[in-house]
Amino acid sequence: MINFADANILYMERIKLHDKYFKPFISNKEIIEAIEKIALKLNNRYKNRETPIFLAVLNGSFMFAAHLLERLQFNCEISFIRLSSYSGTASTGKVCEVFGLDLSVKGRDVIIIEDIVDTGNTVAELFRILTEKGAEDIGICTLLFKPKAYKKDLKVEYAAISIPNDFIVGFGLDYNELGRQYKDIYVLDES
């Protein structure tokens, strides 16, 4: 796992979304390098396994999922589910399913693709749903992981980048639906 908390990124500019400012945090180059390392781990684990299902959590994971899947060297399926637990810059602590699964996971390997794992509420709820639906093996793959905020016992096997418990946007992550399109990641600027 790569830790970019102290990255020196001088070539990105500060951005404003709604009423808040965000400063550069992780460059696209560093994001792509981290994704390539996670893809290598997944390629090693699943190259000789039955076709796994990647279950991407919308909306935030769409960019991560796209970049990750194009680097995989084994057959796989992808499906999407939408769960939400954020309001503004804070987690509500409650997870509500918006879109459900559209394929059977019974007896299958499933890898959850998340944009960010902080408290773990979303992955824990999804893990529960997949277990109830009969998934054989469930892995958790996330672009960003906040170890100090994580409160669950589930192992996050594939975490590309470890970050502090700060609010971030870009590369699929948003602040009240703005900022997803940025190729870099920005952190809330409280100065």
The torsion angle over the Cα atoms of residues 22, 169, 153 and 162, rounded to 10 degrees, is: -70
The phi, psi pair for 177, rounded to 5°, reads 75, 5
Catalytic site includes residue 174: no
The phi, psi pair for 144, rounded to 5°, reads -125, 140
Could you say which of 115, 118, 174, 184 is catalytic?
118
68 by Cβ neighbours in 10 Å (0-12 / 13-18 / 19+) ranks as buried
Would you please indicate which residues are annotated as catalytic (active-site) residues?
118
